[in-house]
Structure 1
């Protein structure tokens, strides 16, 4: 009986050309992964335990966790940091725990699902503001009550554009609001040494989330903020308390990835590839972006899937981003550029895109 109901929902997705499925790795040219610097391909010599044996509050807390958290806090110019198993867990922990009943969270409408899901689990009032619209943000803040949080991503995962961080930070200061920035797609890419867009702009929000599964090529995430915030999350964040911790092996890989960011030639090559792509592909359908994420709006799930399939048939691994992941009518081809993509590969991609649009 239940499967019949579930199948009905799946058939609806199939009809709308929005059914998701898992696909094996391929030998196509990678233009879809978040491995911006190619760090996931590095062979690392790690001699550490592969199991953590429990949660951080029982048997899963090891010296290497504290060492890594101290190093990461220093790297990002923060008082303290706390490691989580994923960026999803980090956002779920913060937004379900820190904002309280009577508080208000105002978030950019394009913020990641993990932020929205965390807010759903919490008790604070929350509403969105139009993407990167400072005037609308100011209007929303006038309606806010209690302690007020403003939440943005420094680089938006489905558009690739950047938050207007300096202006948003100024608005937060004017209204006494706490700024929270998800730096998932900026970590390792922006900043003098890959510390993110906040570091590049010399902005110090109340809290920042950095993830390790993108440019750092490993797994996990960290929340950077005050020592008080760290202690509070340890005591009250359920996704942190009630889960097995990352093992020492994973944490050592994270430490090595951060060490690799120092004097990182891959970041320079990535920037060259972004510039090369933008120079060789100009279109009104291309969303303006200075990040590795470049998106071509196609419109319509079926048409977007067809274009992605055509590109894949040419050996170019790009993916269609469909509604409801993005709003209906803004379905797109999402292109991720990397330091390891050759200019010949990028030129091939640009040529095929020109043929298809």
Structure 2
């Protein structure tokens, strides 16, 4: 085992793709998923502190799974609120988006069923598919012709798995075309709304609700650790689906539930966003400013190629692990927290700087970042 560990680490070192934990306190944030700045909001922090904890016995930890000691009226009230907010019949809380996706996809499709997932799906979606024992096949990213070809070969119950906003490319799924294919081939659609929740829709209900397409979906997963600035996740779907997950989703059954503070944080975050919905507009303005300035200062450049994205996720492709790491380190020395995304996390040759644009980034900070990037173009 020791030899195996050493060998795998040496392989990563040779490829220049070894991961290390990095603390960059004091740098300008261009890396986090805190798109709307809610994780740093003192107003939201004070709102969460103002909740009444006296009605619950366990105020620090939930003390068990939801099926044992971990359930509470606060959890059930929050699920009812979220179901209404996300225009869903029912909702079920999970400790994270990773766990929610893993639970949903691993236990609903059965042996003999078919899962078709976008090739750029997050690893938790792929691992859920693997654990389900269903037949599973990727289709080319956002390629509906490839998806249809695989739908024609699918067996038994068919599940199409996509994301609303893709975390590495920052682009959107072709929702209308995928829904049309799903209806044609009687497939069910599961959507991970992790990078959409908060940014779109009334009170942050996500892209699918904003487009009025939520009724065409089998299930959605909304994550709160990104634009909502807190923690946790929820699966939205029919009451029958939620009852099934309660009975068969192992990551739900055997996991200690979210503590009361997390429940209040989620509740407060959506109330806060409802009262400050202009943050969505500010986000769009900052993204437009970044894109416009990048095109002016750097433009189309094969050594530093900005992928088209109108979301806060702005990928700048810088081929090669060594080069992208070097540029990221230079940016950090200049005061900007920008991290490299290395292969094998992304395809070799598409290594990138994954820049996140936030409402709290000033135009001056954005301009200074682009000036620094231009030095390496």
TM-score, normalised relative to structure 2? 0.93
Is 1:273–2:286 an aligned residue pair?
Answer: yes
Q: What is the root-mean-square deviation of aligned Cα atoms in Å?
A: 1.1
Matches within 5 A, 1:1-357: 2-42=1-41, 43=45, 44-45=48-49, 46-48=51-53, 49-204=59-214, 205-263=217-275, 264-282=277-295, 283-284=299-300, 285-357=305-377
Q: Deviations over 1:11-32 (max 9, x none)?
A: 2111111001111241100000
* 1:33-90 C-alpha deviation (Å, 9 max, x unpaired): 0011111113231443120010000000000110000000100100000000001100
1:156/1:162 contact within 8 Å kept: yes
1:123 Cα deviation (Å)?
Answer: 1.5
Cα deviation, 1:231-268, whole Å, max 9, x if unaligned, reads 00000000000010001111010000111121423222
Any idea what the Cα deviations from partners look like across 1:141-185, whole Å, max 9, x if unmatched?
A: 101110111110000001111111111111111111101100000
Output one character per residue of 1:71-115: Cα deviation in whole Å (capped at 9) or x when no partner: 001001000000000011001101110001111010100000001
Do 1:80 and 1:224's aligned partners in 2 also have CA atoms closer than 8 Å? yes
* Cα distance in 2, alignment partners of residues 86 and 145 from structure 1: 31
Could you tell me which runs of 5 or more consecutive residues in structure 1 were left unpaired when the two chains were aligned.
none
Cα deviation, residue 354, structure 1:
1.8
* Partners of 2:198 and 2:228 within 8 A in 1: yes
Q: Is the 8 A contact 1:84 1:220 kept in 2?
A: yes
CA–CA distance in 1 between the matches of 2:157 and 2:218?
13
- For structure 2, which runs of at least 5 residues remain unmatched after alignment? 54-58
Structure 1 position 193, deviation (Å) = 3.2
Encode CA deviations 1:291-314: one digit per residue, 9 max, x unaligned: 100001111111110111111111
Q: 2:56 aligns to what?
A: none
Does the aligned pair in 2 maintain the 1:47–1:249 contact within 8 Å?
Answer: no
**Any conservation in 2 of the 1:50–1:250 contact (CA below 8 Å)?**
no
In structure 2, distance between residues paired with 1:148 and 1:266: 38
Secondary structure of the 2:371 match is helix
TM-score (norm 1): 0.98
CA distance in 1, matches of 2:154, 2:213: 23
CA–CA separation in structure 2 for the residues paired with 1:318 and 1:24:
12
Q: Secondary structure at the match of 2:344?
A: coil
| CA–CA separation in structure 1 for the residues paired with 2:192 and 2:163 | 5
Deviation at 1:10, TM superposition (A): 0.8
Contact 1:106 1:127 in 2 (8 A): yes
SS in 2 for 1:325: coil
Secondary structure class of the residue paired with 2:368: helix
Q: 1: CA distance between counterparts of 2:205 and 2:292?
A: 27
